[in-house]
Amino acid sequence: MGLFYFPGSRSCEQDGFNQQRVQLDVQRIPAAIEDMLKPVVEDLGFEWVGGEFRGGPSGLLRVYIDHPDGMTLDHCADVSHALAGVLDVEDPFPGAYRLEVSSPGVERPMFRTEDFARFVGHRVRLRLYKPVAKQKKFEGVIQGVDGEDITVLVDEVGELVFRFEEAEKAHLVYEFADNSKRGRNKRKKRRTARK
């Protein structure tokens, strides 16, 4: 599970925090903003995973970072403070927004072609901008990357080949070690003796 750091509220939440509300109109941050923020993250010794922005009255800038030794709330707070300083000076977004610094978590978002190459053999869930065979949402195993072309073996469909820019959103899918026990009712039936 990932960590979130919200500078305004000084709290840490687990993955899934208000996901319904945050999903609306979320887009990858523009390259110019990534170019401004990525060096700050890397200078602090962290990996820049990617970023998302949602505008509107309750704007949100979410930045994902990682570290080889794992992430802590203090890591998220340190990066948040450094990014807030840059954002206050540069002021790249109109209106108010909240900065959220997060670890990518077990269902890591995929922001670049290199992310797909790094996780060949892993399950991914993705949504394309345009439908393929009347469908936009797919889940399957990443088979490979050839330039900008990504191949995913989709369950019950076969190979899906798409260009990275055709993917609206993608993230890894966490697989439980033993799926046979997932969701099973663990209560045992009681046997009653009749007289």
Backbone angles phi, psi at 43, to 5 degrees: -65, -25
Backbone angles phi, psi at 148, to 5 degrees: -95, -5
Work out the number of other CB atoms within 10 angstroms of the CB of residue 93.
Answer: 15
Dig out the tokens for 3 from the structure.
């960590």
Give percent of the chain with pLDDT exceeding 90: 64
Contacts of 49 (CB under 8 A, 6+ apart): 64, 65, 66, 104, 108, 109, 111
**Are the C-beta atoms of 63 and 104 separated by less than 8 Å?**
no
* Domains, the chain, ordered by start: 3-102 (3.30.300.70), 113-176 (2.30.30.180)
Report angle CA 165, 168, 173 to the nearest 5 degrees: 110
Q: pLDDT tens across 172-192, in order?
A: 999 887 655 554 444 444 444
Query: What's the residue count for the chain?
Result: 195
Q: How far apart are CA 77 and CA 54, in angstroms?
A: 21
Q: How far apart are CA 165 and CA 150, in angstroms?
A: 10
pTM of the predicted model as reported, rounded to 2 decimal places: 0.73
Q: Please, which pLDDT band fits residue 57 given cuts at 50, 70 and 90?
A: confident
